[in-house]
Structures are given as structure tokens and as C-alpha cells.
Amino acid sequence: MDIEWIKSQIRTETYLWSLHADEERRNDQLKVDEVTSALLNGKILEIYPRDRRGASCLIYGKSGNSPVHIVCGKNILGRLVIITVYKPRMPKWKTPTERSKT
């Protein structure tokens, strides 16, 4: 899974939302178009090849001036799945692209 493939899935609207991602998006008061915008201008921060749900990655992007993190994976049919979405904050994140040491 690479960022260009992810962006192509967003552009062609061939992706799925997990229930968890939709709940977290709403909790952080993010609109769907803000998340897709962040994915389209995003970059991969971390790759999780051995995640229990299957290989996934953490993407950092921006919606306007707001940083957004999106964890994406691929389902068994090869479609992009948005697993979770959130705004990076302290204490877990020192900056939007750097984890805290705690």
C-alpha cells in the first residue's frame, strides 16, 4: 500500500469507512470532505505491516490548517478501508508528525 494508491482510491471513491472511523470523525467534528482532502494532500507517517486487522498505515494530512491523522488498510477484496480518523493531540503527539516520548 502506497500513498499514490490510497489517493487514487479516494479520487475514484472506491473506499470504505469502518464504523469506528465514522464515530471518531464525528467525535472530532470532521466532515467527510475534510478527511478526504487530508488524504489527498497527505503523506504516510507510519506503516504497520503486522497489524492484527491486516497491513495498514498512518497518514498525516491537512484539512485547511488543521492536521488530521487517518489510519487506512486494505480489505480482503483489495479495497481501501479507513480504519480510524482523529486530530493529533498531546499527550500522544508532540507535533502532528512526531509522537511524544511518554
Per-residue pLDDT reduced to its tens digit, 65-95 = 999 999 999 998 999 999 999 999 988 999 9
What's the confidence (pLDDT) of residue 31? 96
CA atoms within 13 A on the CB side of 7: 12
> In the predicted model, is pLDDT for residue 99 greater than 70?
yes
pLDDT tier at 101 (50, 70, 90 boundaries)? confident
What's the confidence (pLDDT) of residue 102? 65
Q: Where are the domains of the chain?
A: 3-90
pLDDT tier at 52 (50, 70, 90 boundaries)? confident
| Long-range CB contacts (within 8 A, 24+) of 23-28 | 24/84, 24/85, 24/86, 25/85, 28/85, 28/86, 28/87
What's the confidence (pLDDT) of residue 1? 81
The string of DSSP codes covering 2-27 is -HHHHHHHHHTT-EEE-HHHHHHHHH
Backbone torsions φ then ψ of 101, nearest 5 degrees: -80, -5
